[in-house]
Amino acid sequence: MAIEGSTATTARPTGATQLDIADDLLGRLRATATEPRTDTQLEALTLAVAADLPVLLWGEPGIGKTAALTQLAEALELPLTTVIASVHEPSDFAGLPIVGDDPARQGVPMAPPDWAVRLVRAGKGLLFLDELSTAAPAVQAALLRVVLERRIGALQLPPGVRIVAAANPRSSAADGWELSAPLANRFVHLKWAHEQDVVVRGLGGTWPRATLPMLDPGRLAGSVEFARRAVCGLLAARAALVHQLPQSETRRGGAWPSPRTWDMTLRLVAFATAADASREVLSLLVRGTVGDGPGFELLASLDRMDLPDPELLLADPTAARLPERGDLRQAVLDSVVAAVKARPERARWDAAWALLVHALETGAPDLVVVPATTLAHLRREDWPVPAAIEQLAGVVTMSRAADQAAARVKATAGTGS
């Protein structure tokens, strides 16, 4: 141990230069470990990569997008090929024309760049297109075939190659451009943000481990059927969602719905179902493919797909198992009342009242107010009032009184008295 004020120095290996010692220190700093850890954005990225869909990570400079891709490639044992899109010409992606001995008969082939040849030779890899938002429009146009068709010049990338890109928002990009609508519509857009505890633990030497999702072989067929039923059911009811090209240039450079992105969404729903992914992960993927509005509508319809059949509830209302979530419970009660309205019969009307009583006893009272009011208006003159109404009358009266009181308070506040 050195004593304060002494001139003693640490012993160095014989023949080692200062650069050798510096390299040793750098090696120690680069040595990190990984650990299994719940990381929603990393899980969403790996699921999209497993589904073989191009992913675009959006984040501010220095947020860790490149580091995440490097770690992902190592974890998946894929060779990483990084291409800075902004420093390339369109011909670097479309291919350079090579004139042969007889171009009139043989044509002029488009020679691919060396990095594409290396990917084909390896048969697999992670192609990382960095700085996408600083690529000029002509370069973005040349990337269309690369991202969608996996073609670079005359070369076809093998199925084992996955494509991930990264971009900075235009406000923080160096000479940035808005992403063109055709190119943006080919990606799953994921917003990449730092999480303090992940960064702190990572700088301490341990980062989250990226792993491919565990797909259950027994759930594959059911996952495909579920995904198709979910997407097709929504689009059949909401035709306007099939294709919505945003009006603003900025929004066109993000996620928006089209037949192409709905097909991507269907694939992601199937993969998330087979992997039993969390709702948070599925939400990131769906909204990153078709946009927030259509994505939330699909997520809501997914919730409703698992709701009980109103006819089964009417057949045995006392044994009904209603959802715990308030919005889903409300949807179930509304569907039961709608079923009675579609086929009004006394036995079905009585069963609906019994179900409302069951809902009142097992959940929030205010959820039965609207269904009870609607159901009361469906009564025929020759139908006797069921005893169940007695139990619900107090709840309905109290709710109406509360609404009237709230209206009076609002009116008083409006007059300033």
Condensed to tens digits (0 to 9), the pLDDT of residues 254-295 reads: 999 999 999 999 999 999 999 999 999 999 999 999 999 999
More confident position, 272 or 399? 272
One DSSP character per residue, 17-73 reads -HHHHHHHHHHHHH--EEE----HHHHHHHHHHHTT--EEEE--TTSSHHHHHHHHH
Please report the pLDDT score of residue 92 as a whole number.
82
Q: Tell me which H or E stretch contains 300.
A: helix 292-305
Burial (CB < 10 A; 0-12, 13-18, 19+), residue 168, is buried
Closest-CA residue to 55 (of 231, 289, 287): 289
pLDDT tens digits for 15-32?
789 999 999 999 999 888
Closest-CA residue to 255 (of 192, 299, 190, 301): 190
Structure tokens belonging to residue 344: 């009004």
On the question of pLDDT at 164 being above 50, the answer is yes
Please report the pLDDT score of residue 177 as a whole number.
79
Q: Which residues of 342-371 are buried (b: 16+ CB within 10 A; e: fewer)?
A: eeeeeebbbbbbbbbbbbbeebeeebbbeb
On the question of pLDDT at 119 being above 60, the answer is yes
Please report the pLDDT score of residue 243 as a whole number.
96
Burial (CB < 10 A; 0-12, 13-18, 19+), residue 337, is buried
Closest-CA residue to 269 (of 248, 255, 285, 292): 285
The pTM score is: 0.74
Please report the pLDDT score of residue 8 as a whole number.
47
On the question of pLDDT at 57 being above 80, the answer is yes
CA–CA separation, 310 vs 248, rounded Å? 43
Q: Rg for the chain (alpha carbons), in Å? A: 30
CA–CA separation, 145 vs 41, rounded Å? 27
Please report the pLDDT score of residue 237 as a whole number.
85
